[in-house]
Structure formats: C-alpha cells, structure tokens
Homo-oligomer: A and B are copies of this chain.
Amino acid sequence: MKITCSKQELMRAINIVTKAVPANTTMPVLKCVFIDASASEIKFTANDMELGIETKVDGVILEQGVVALEAKLFSDMIRKMEESDVTIASDENFNTTITCEKAKFNIMGQSGEDFPYLPFVEKDYQVILSQFTLKEVIRQTIFSIASTETNKIMTGELFDIKENSLRVISLDGHRISIRNILLKDSLEARRAIVPGKTLNEISKILSGGTEDDVEIYLTENLILFEFDGNVVVSRLIEGKYFNVDQMITNDYETKVTINRQDFTSCLDRATLMVKEGDKRPIILNIADNVMEMKISSQIGKMNDVLDIELEGKPIKIGFNPRFMLDALRVIDDETIDIYFMNSKAPCFIRDEEQSYNYMVLPVNFVD
C-alpha cells in the first residue's frame, strides 16, 4: 500500500477515528487505526467493538492495499511532521515507512486481517438532525446518565421517537433530564438506548453547524450516524428503558420564577460546603418575592437570598446543590420556572413548551 495525503488532512482524520480507540483492550489490533486503500478511496477506521468510526481521507492512492498502525504512535508521528505532504507506504510484511520532506519513520504495521470491520447497518429507519441540534441535545442531557455500570440502562440515553418528535432522556436515580426536539418529518414510533460513551465521543466530532446535517439510522441493535464523510456505528444498550412518563407530572402547588444566572452562582457557592459524596442539601425557603438559601456542614455555612416571583404556596425544600446546578448550566433561558408539589416530591424545571424538563428529587433535611 502507498498513499500520499497532506499532514493536515491526516491529522483531521486521525483525530476523528481515534475517538473509538479503546484505552484498554485485550485485542492489540483494536489499538490501531486501520488504513484501507484497497479500493478507490482512502478510509481510516477505529473500532472498540461497541463504537466504530470510519472517515474518508482526501489523498492519492499510489498503490492499493491496507495496513493497521498503532494509533497513538501514528498520531504522534504525523503531528510532529512538517506541514507538508506525507507518504505512507507498507510492504508485503507491513513494514511501514512514513515520509514527509526529508524526515522518515520506519515502523512495523499489522496486516489488519483480524481488524473488525464496522457492522453493516440496514438503512430503513432514518432520522435527520442538524449537527448543532445533536451536539446541543447531548450536552444538555449527558450529565445525568449514571457513571457506574450497576444499572447498564442508566449509562445510556433514551432516543424516543414518536410522530414528528424526538425525546432524548437520561436519568440516574436522582434526577431526569428530558429534551424535546421537533423533527421535520413524522416517523414510525421507535425507542433506542444509546450508550453515553458513544454520545460523548460523537459530540466531540460533530462540527455543531446549524446548516450541517447528521443522518441517523436505527436498527434493533445498532445506531449509525453519517455526517461530513464520517460513519459512526454504535451498539445500542439492550433492555427496556424506564417509564419516565409515570415519573413526571405537570401539577404543582408552587411555581417560582427566578434569574437563572443568579441562582446558578448561589448553588455554585453552596457546593463548596459539600464534600464529594456528601449528600448535604441546600435548603430553599421560598416565600413571597424572596428565596432564602442555606447550607451547613462540617466545613461551614452559607446563606444567600434571591429575588423571585412566587405563584402558589410558600415551601421549604432541600436539594443536592450539584444536581440543581447541572440542570441550570445547560439551560439557555435568562429566567427559569421551577415547579414544586411539596417538600417530599420532586421539582421540575421546564419551559412552557416543554422543550426541556429537568426533574430533581428532593433531599430530606432536619431544620
């Protein structure tokens, strides 16, 4: 195999596919970028068996063939080359030379014959989103997936499609994040649980342009994303997602309208009083026009007061300040509405159109 590409194009492609190179694996070939120049196009692929990424690379094929190169070393070598054309050549034993101007590297490549190709995905069921929308919706929900594998389903997000709406949902047992997206077309109902890791990695690759589309295809076990010459395939998480509709309600006894940025700053300060893993709540004392906040721990105490608009009953309720904070940080509105039922029931932060709905469970407190 022998190909020539610009250094810049190689770096672009490497940065994309290496998102799917596993940090640890018992299969050494998975640590590689697989270079496929066996047909008329150059493609780079990486695959950790759950997530696979393939990207087309702009360049010239001087001799057809394939080779698998250790991803970290390959990436470092290309990065340290001059800004010029780079030639990658492999002989029949996969001895590989990488040349740029007068600099030349020789390394051992692998045949890649045991490199797992991306699984084939039937393109029957298609959803189209802008890159901006997909990137945003991931950012706005990913923080409330569960970080431990105790409940596998909680480590993913539900993509729930019904008619012309896509609901993206994550939950971790303490809170639920829901974002609603309007689709251009009406689709057959479908639910898929997408691994959080897949969403994290794909959001790093997405340009985030409002004019650039992502085509998403779903099968029973797989999800495929196509955009900008990239193909990202991921396994779905098997199982049945939680019945979230049972957990949310639009009823309320108390509605608080508050400046988001001010509330965020207060909660951020409150977190200083809570050690990692400590469940000490911030206590919100909501009365007409003002909300008093206080938190106390072995570290110390914090008090603060914010102006609010109150509709309904006064209430006193405790929350993990970090959970509140996570939700507030991904909302763009200047002013938010929080809905409460009573001090034992969850609160909901949602806008009128319910384009977002964040539920946080309260924490008991001794006054």
Contacts and interface: CB of A to CB of B under 8 A. Distances in A.
Interface of A: 73, 76-77, 80-82, 102-108, 265-266, 268-269, 272-273, 299-306
A303 B104 CA distance: 5
Contacts of A108: 300
A92 B326 CA distance: 39
Contact of A269 (B77, B106, B304, B306): B77
A304 B103 contact: yes
Instruction: With a 10 A CB-CB cut-off, give which of A103, A108, A268 has the most chain B CB atoms.
Output: A103
Contacts of A77: 269, 272
A76 B304 contact: no
Contacts of A265: 80, 82, 103
Given A77-B272, A272-B77, A272-B80, A266 B301 contact: no
A104 B272 contact: no
B105 A302 contact: yes
A81 B299 contact: no
A106 B300 CA distance: 5
Contacts of A305: 102
A269 B103 CA distance: 9
A305 B99 CA distance: 12
11 contacts: A73-B272, A80-B272, A81-B269, A82-B265, A102-B304, A102-B306, A103-B269, A104-B302, A104-B304, A106-B300, A106-B301
A269 to B, nearest CB: 5
Contacts of A302: 103-106
B80 A269 contact: yes
A305 B103 CA distance: 7
* In the A-B complex, the 10 residue pairs with the closest CB atoms: A107-B300, A106-B301, A80-B269, A103-B304, A104-B303, A102-B305, A105-B302, A76-B272, A106-B300, A80-B268
Contacts of A273: 105
Contacts of A301: 105-107
Residue with the highest number of chain B CB atoms closer than 10 Å, among A265, A272, A305, A306: A272
Given A77-B272, A80-B272, A266 B304 contact: no
A129 to B, nearest CB: 36
A179 to B, nearest CB: 28
Contact of A300 (B82, B103, B105, B303): B105
Contacts of A103: 265-266, 269, 302-304
Contacts of A105: 269, 272-273, 300-302
Contacts of A102: 304-306
Contacts of A268: 80
